[in-house]
Amino acid sequence: MDSFLKLKSEFDNLVSKIKIPGAETRMTSIDPSNYKLSDKIANLTEKDLLPHIDTAQPETREFLQCVINILLDYVNACNNRNEKILEFHHPEDMKKLLDLDINDNPAPLQQLIVDCATTLKYQVKTGHPHFFNQLSCGLDIISMAGEWLTATANTNMFTYEIAPVFILMENVVLSKMRDIIGYSGGDSILAPGGSISNLYAFLAARHKMFPGYKEHGPRGLPGDLCMFTSDQSHYSVKSCASVCGLGTENCVMVPSDEHGKMIASELERLILERKARGQIPFFVSATAGTTVLGAFDPLNEIADICEKYNCWFHVDAAWGGGLLLSKKYRHPRLSGIERSHSVTWNPHKLMGALLQCSSIHFREDGLLLSCNQMSAEYLFMTDKLYDIQYDTGDKVIQCGRHNDIFKLWLQWRAKGDVGFEAHMDRLMELTQYEVKRIKEQSDKFHLILEPELVNVSFWYIPKRLRGIPHSSDKEKELGKICPIIKARMMQAGTLMVGYQPDDRRPNFFRSIISSAAVTEKDVDFMLEEIDRLGQDL
């Protein structure tokens, strides 16, 4: 803790070395004092509303409408470029600004209204056009309306009995997604995030290839199972090896090339090496859109190797899957995905569905059920009024499952296939614009590689380092600057762009364009603002 405080103090000095205007020029329009319930209900409590009081429809409606007024104002604020993206405070300071205590006694309704507004006042506006920080950016209005409805319907997805419309929607949308991947038939499920989706793929693969594993574990196998993924893959793939009992040393990290793509010949070499040790290679997870660089592994080459060595071929397209919707960008990036056994694809990323919305698709039907069912007859009975093939509870490891379909269905219906394709093409076009602008300002910015997706990796070059030839020493200096500029962004509240190191280089910026709110002007702003914030470094 002491060393943290020391580092923090040095860091704070650097961050605040110069006065960075910003905070003063931007506004925070959500003001908790603006939202007032009528005197009649302000001091009521939740016990005075539905369902406790049958006649409390008007009071309930007024309270909910007041919450909605805050939300509608927040939607406007998110779309206003003059708004701060965030009001940054350190955790200990933020605690003092907020009143988070839960008391013995109920809070009056007016207090709850203030709580809602205060929460949004200090929340980071992930839908702001200057938020380039995360793979999930943006605030899709239709998907948001869908999520509001989902909350109000408040049902679980395990049976047709209690979620008839939503279960049918899942069938329609997931079947459509499998068609787009290039599967005929198959099966799918919506899961709570890409990591759990990848876990489903791992489990299905193990079950398909070693059906006795479910009951007996590794006993009886002639060697240890091992799996393969690139050193650029999402860490959840390696996590499968830990969670599922292989041990992380049996998740082999295949080297990637300088573009971040798995080197297929290295995959083959490592499979042979593990086989020579008596291990059983059974699962390869290729990545279509890596987290940092946005790279696509060579799917066809990997598919060939999987066929040759009888491995399950999984594609983690959590991030890049959205490009399947674009005729222009799908090939060559995702060519070969139709040869896979399973695909993770997160609509909450490129497609902008609200969090969370992640899907896992299988070429073979029936595997989810045979892999995951525990024969909980007491929950999923077969003597029902309706055709129980629509029940999903026995196919998943979760039992209860959140309804993640309605927001996606409504959004897709609102856009149509044409709209989603145009959205993908637009995000890629804006990315190309950013690349062009970075290249045009090569004195100030250093593009690390030509992106295949909407991740743009670059360094900002401060004045003192301009004109000096690029070298690893220079990279180290450029890397040190990223956290300082990021800290200044957050304090100014004007911009959010992420940075991170990777295996090859120290910290660098990685901007993400996955929000429909972003325009060319916003891209220009991002680069200008980084320059402004880094002028003295």
- By CB under 8 A, the residues from 271 to 310 that bind its own copies are 291-292
Contacting residue, 23, 42, 75, 209, with its own copies by CB under 8 A: 75
Please report, as residue ranges, which positions from 420 to 459 form the binding site for its own copies (by CB under 8 A): none
- Are the CB atoms for 17 and 102 separated by under 8 Å? no
Which residue, 461 or 484, has its beta carbon nearer to its own copies? 484
Rounded Cα–Cα distance for residues 452 and 187 (Å): 29
Told to check if 525 binds its own copies by CB under 8 A, we report no
Contacting residue, 79, 300, 335, 370, with its own copies by CB under 8 A: 79
Told to check if 42 binds its own copies by CB under 8 A, we report no
Told to check if 23 binds its own copies by CB under 8 A, we report no
Binding mask 197-216 for its own copies (x = CB under 8 A): --x---x---------xxxx
Please report, as residue ranges, which positions from 89 to 128 form the binding site for its own copies (by CB under 8 A): 89-92, 94-95, 98, 100-107, 109, 111-112, 115-116, 118-120, 122-124, 126-127
Backbone dihedral angles phi then psi of residue 39, each to the nearest 5 degrees: -55, -30
Q: In the complex, what is the shortest distance from the CB of residue 308 to its own copies, in angstroms, rounded to a whole number?
A: 26
Told to check if 244 binds its own copies by CB under 8 A, we report yes
Q: In the complex, what is the shortest distance from the CB of residue 428 to its own copies, in angstroms, rounded to a whole number?
A: 17
Told to check if 46 binds its own copies by CB under 8 A, we report yes
DSSP 391: -
Q: Directed axis angle between helix 406-440 and helix 520-533, to 10°?
A: 60
Which residue, 305 or 351, has its beta carbon nearer to its own copies? 351
Which residue, 335 or 397, has its beta carbon nearer to its own copies? 397
Told to check if 18 binds its own copies by CB under 8 A, we report no
Number of H helices, E strands in the chain: 17, 12
Please report, as residue ranges, which positions from 219 to 238 form the binding site for its own copies (by CB under 8 A): 219, 224, 234-236, 238
Q: Which residues of 55-91 are buried (b: 16+ CB within 10 A; e: fewer)?
A: ebeebbebbeebeeebeebbeebbeeeebbbbbbeee
Q: What is the DSSP string of 465-506?
A: GTTSPP-HHHHHHHHHHHHHHHHHHHHHTS-EEEEE--SSSS
Residue of 148, 188, 105 lying closest to 411 (CA atoms): 148
Rounded Cα–Cα distance for residues 206 and 281 (Å): 11
- Are the CB atoms for 284 and 267 separated by under 8 Å? yes
Assign residue 361 a region (left: φ > 0; alpha: ψ between -120 and 50; beta: otherwise).
Answer: beta
Told to check if 196 binds its own copies by CB under 8 A, we report yes
Contacting residue, 417, 440, 450, 536, with its own copies by CB under 8 A: 417
Rounded Cα–Cα distance for residues 75 and 61 (Å): 20
Which residue, 123 or 265, has its beta carbon nearer to its own copies? 123
Report the DSSP pairing between strands 455-460 and 280-287.
unpaired
Residue with tokens 């939202």: 35
Rounded Cα–Cα distance for residues 175 and 189 (Å): 10
- Are the CB atoms for 260 and 290 separated by under 8 Å? yes
The piece of 240-248, 265-273, 443-451, 528-536 that touches its own copies (CB under 8 A) is 240-248
Contacting residue, 2, 24, 39, 249, with its own copies by CB under 8 A: 249
Rounded alpha-carbon distances, angstroms, from residue 35 to 70, 189, 237, 316, 412: 7, 41, 46, 45, 34
Query: Cβ atoms within 10 A of the Cβ of 405, count?
Result: 27
Please report, as residue ranges, which positions from 150 to 189 form the binding site for its own copies (by CB under 8 A): 150-156, 160-169, 172-173, 176
The residue count for binding its own copies (CB under 8 A) is: 174
Told to check if 2 binds its own copies by CB under 8 A, we report no
Backbone dihedral angles phi then psi of residue 269, each to the nearest 5 degrees: -60, -45
Which residue, 150 or 188, has its beta carbon nearer to its own copies? 150
Told to check if 35 binds its own copies by CB under 8 A, we report no
- Are the CB atoms for 303 and 331 separated by under 8 Å? no
Q: In the complex, what is the shortest distance from the CB of residue 152 to its own copies, in angstroms, rounded to a whole number?
A: 5
Please report, as residue ranges, which positions from 363 to 382 form the binding site for its own copies (by CB under 8 A): 372, 374-379, 381
Told to check if 515 binds its own copies by CB under 8 A, we report yes
Which residue, 292 or 441, has its beta carbon nearer to its own copies? 292
Contacting residue, 464, 501, 520, 535, with its own copies by CB under 8 A: 501
The piece of 304-312, 333-341, 361-369, 404-412 that touches its own copies (CB under 8 A) is 404-412
Q: In the complex, what is the shortest distance from the CB of residue 300 to its own copies, in angstroms, rounded to a whole number?
A: 27
Which residue, 246 or 317, has its beta carbon nearer to its own copies? 246
The neighbouring-strand residues paired with 187 are 362
Backbone dihedral angles phi then psi of residue 447, each to the nearest 5 degrees: -75, 130
Binding mask 343-362 for its own copies (x = CB under 8 A): -----x-----xxx------
Told to check if 39 binds its own copies by CB under 8 A, we report no
Q: In the complex, what is the shortest distance from the CB of residue 264 to its own copies, in angstroms, rounded to a whole number?
A: 23
**Helix/strand/coil for 27:** strand
Please report, as residue ranges, which positions from 460 to 489 form the binding site for its own copies (by CB under 8 A): 483, 486-487
Told to check if 494 binds its own copies by CB under 8 A, we report no
Question: CA 476, 291, 338 angle in degrees (round to 5)?
Answer: 145
